Amino acid sequence: MSQPTQTKPTKLFVLDTNVILHDASCINQFEENDVVIPISVLEELDNFKRGNEQVHYNAREFLRLLDDFSENHVNGEEQKINNEHSGTIRVVVNHQYHPDVEASFHEDKMDHRILNCAYKLSKNNPDRKVVLVTKDTNLRLKARSLGLKADDYLTDQVQNVEIISKGIHLIEDVPETMIDTLYEKNEYDFEKFENMDSPIPNENFILRNGQKSALAIYNSQDNKLKRVDKVPAYGITPRNAEQSFAMKILTDDSIQLVSLVGKAGTGKTLLALAAALECRQAYRQIYLARPIVPLSNRDLGFLPGDIQSKLDPYMQPLFDNLSVIRHQFKYEDDRAKKINNMLEQEKLQITPLAYIRGRSLQKVYFIVDEAQNLTPHEVKTIITRAGEGTKIIFTGDIHQIDHPYLDVKSNGISHLIARMKGQEVFAHITLEKGERSGLAELATNLL
């Protein structure tokens, strides 16, 4: 008589609040495993129900989802998550501290209550692996100090950061006739160049042969390399090959989505704004936006003055870039006056990113600055707002992140580059050479 097959016990995942605020649909990512929501998490989510930031939307969306699961069921019962997997979800009310947790962490706060819930579940379920899932590094360390398994939420994380390439390739010893043809005809049939692997759409190349060189971008529609020149835009002239490539993709209407990554001083925002002003006649409006970090309304509330005076310090770097462009011209120059007129007529708007939410972006040149402080879901939300004729630019430095729960692999711009790479409407450039000043470049590299 055959023995019944024993199924391997599934894992038990305990979710921290920041995981839900990062991804409202997170409970669908644990397959056949069970998910537990500590009651303390619901208490914290209650503080995020009102507001216009993405975290507030995620809190509301998750609570609605949980309400649908729990309808017509007694509180505390396990509910099946979806039809594809056998995993369940339940809310645990458990405020009584375990002696081990109480002895280690004397302060009563939400993090410790969530940790306590996970720890007690691990003690009460010795046959199952209990995992605390949190984006809080310190809480993960506290959990591990108690012998509890703790992981980051990595579902939307870029697994290999090396995939975020420069978007530029240097190729030496190309045929001299290739460079000559690029200058004569402004293009070169890619099939004639046998020594190069097939590039991805909008990939950029620096081609050299001795003292001869040319810049080119690959056009996948006709399988040709197109020559790239150092073309100024609204008084701003590219200072190196990287900036020349960036200006090309920023002013190309066929490329609807662009990411510019680079350290401070490489000209990301300045180039994007100059390109937007150069292309202004093709668009109804120019939006220049950035996320507010810190996101907490409390941090803004302690500042004196009205909402505009509170937001001005966060927006000032954008006005600084606009000032640089304006000062390329004399005061009476029509191009300088045009900038002032566009600001007055709201054809050019510099605004916090939260104010864009819910708007339909039709024929808009939309620049999102400091995009490394956005979550992947926030980036998706922004792009899905794009209507016909809209071009979206994301700029940022993935090595300078201010968001407490994002890093070089999990931020929105890294996610965007990894997922969009190879699409004909997308182009990416990593700017490495600083052009702000010699002093700024020295400080960035040495300090």
Per-residue model confidence (pLDDT) at position 192: 58
Q: Identify whether the C-beta of residue 290 lies closer than 8 Å to the C-beta of residue 368.
A: yes
Residues 339 and 333: their CA atoms lie apart, in Å, by: 10
Q: Identify whether the C-beta of residue 370 lies closer than 8 Å to the C-beta of residue 291.
A: yes
Per-residue model confidence (pLDDT) at position 14: 96
Task: Select from 151, 172, 200 the last residue of a domain.
Answer: 151
Task: Establish if 335 belongs to a structural domain.
Answer: yes
Averaged pLDDT in 10-residue chunks for the chain of 447 residues: 54 94 89 92 92 84 87 63 73 87 90 95 93 95 96 77 75 89 89 67 91 92 91 93 96 95 90 95 92 52 54 73 87 87 88 75 93 90 90 93 85 91 93 76 72
Per-residue model confidence (pLDDT) at position 399: 87
Residues 234 and 372 reside in one and the same domain: yes
Task: Establish if 5 belongs to a structural domain.
Answer: no
Residues 321 and 109: their CA atoms lie apart, in Å, by: 43
Residues 130 and 149: their CA atoms lie apart, in Å, by: 7
Q: Structure pTM? A: 0.81
Task: Establish if 352 belongs to a structural domain.
Answer: yes
Residues 350 and 401 reside in one and the same domain: yes
Residues 305 and 273 reside in one and the same domain: yes
Residues 301 and 403 reside in one and the same domain: yes
Residues 129 and 215 reside in one and the same domain: no
Residues 117 and 193 reside in one and the same domain: no
Residues 83 and 182 reside in one and the same domain: no
Residues 122 and 168 reside in one and the same domain: no
Per-residue model confidence (pLDDT) at position 162: 60
Number of domains in the chain: 2
Residues 178 and 137 reside in one and the same domain: no
Per-residue model confidence (pLDDT) at position 8: 57
Domain that holds residue 90: 12-151
Residues 30 and 125 reside in one and the same domain: yes
Residues 272 and 383 reside in one and the same domain: yes
Residues 90 and 31: their CA atoms lie apart, in Å, by: 15
Task: Select from 126, 151, 176 the last residue of a domain.
Answer: 151
In one letter, which amino acid is 44? E
Task: Select from 125, 151, 177 the last residue of a domain.
Answer: 151
Residues 170 and 241 reside in one and the same domain: yes
Task: Establish if 430 belongs to a structural domain.
Answer: yes
Distances (CA, A) of 79 to 93, 172, 301, 408: 16, 61, 40, 35
Per-residue model confidence (pLDDT) at position 295: 40
Task: Establish if 37 belongs to a structural domain.
Answer: yes
